[in-house]
Amino acid sequence: MKTINLTEQTVRDLNQALHAQAVECTEREWEVLEPKGQHNIACGLDQNLSVDIKGPTGYYCAGMNKKAHVTIHGNAGQGVAENMMSGTVRVKGDASQAAGATAHGGLLVIEGNAAARCGISMKGVDIVVKGNVGHMSCFMGQAGALVVCGDAGDALGDSIYETHIYVKGEVKSLGADCIEKEVREEHIEELTELLNRAGVDEDPAAFKRYGSARQLYNFKVDNTSAY
């Protein structure tokens, strides 16, 4: 295992060393000490690496991740796993707003709570939150799945496209064009698989499903005065 202490080396040093593994992989297991909330840690990875970050991180940790498996042993700042393509990112604490924003693939697991706009404009990522999510989560969600084991704040799924949302707790309010939907056998199977991948022990039958009413897809001349 390669260990980098961020009180002795810079985030740029760390990221350059991790990026170099995409050219020639010399070490697959990495440990990052003393992150102390610094921004942009472990961004843009493009190799099957395991990166353990031993402490809280700032903005955009593990952003643009591809193939790597990143674990944050603490809280994460805004935009964790933003635009992730593949791999996994696990936050052992809470995540600030816009977790998983615009992410195309992979799995993001937040073991605490996620703040506002979790999964905003998500495009294929799967997100599992063991706690609660804040307002406007899954805003304009296009694909993938958002699983919330706690409660959801205001305007869940506002202007949603085809993301699947599963919530076990209470939903304060649904956003525009987001409705509760029937939970069929295929959704139980999907949710079971997501919970298993995330290592979360919850009963899939206890969740409700939410998704698009598909009323905002096309322009309607009768609604001209509303635009």
Residue pLDDT, tens place only, 186-204: 999 999 999 999 999 999 9
Spell out the long-range contacts of 58-67 with Cβ–Cβ below 8 A and sequence spacing 24 or more.
61/89, 62/89, 65/89, 65/106
pLDDT at 224: 72
| C-alpha–C-alpha distance, residues 197 and 193, integer Å | 6
Half-sphere exposure of 22 (CA within 13 A, CB side): 13
| C-alpha–C-alpha distance, residues 75 and 69, integer Å | 17
152-197 residue pLDDT tens: 999 999 999 999 999 999 999 999 999 999 999 999 999 999 999 9
Coil, strand or helix at 217: coil
Q: Which residue has the tokens 């706009």?
A: 117
Coil, strand or helix at 148: strand
Coil, strand or helix at 226: helix
Q: What is the pTM of this model?
A: 0.96
| C-alpha–C-alpha distance, residues 56 and 67, integer Å | 22
114-162 residue pLDDT tens: 999 999 999 999 999 999 999 999 999 999 999 999 999 999 999 999 9
pLDDT at 227: 59
* Closest C-alpha to 138, from 106, 177, 191: 177
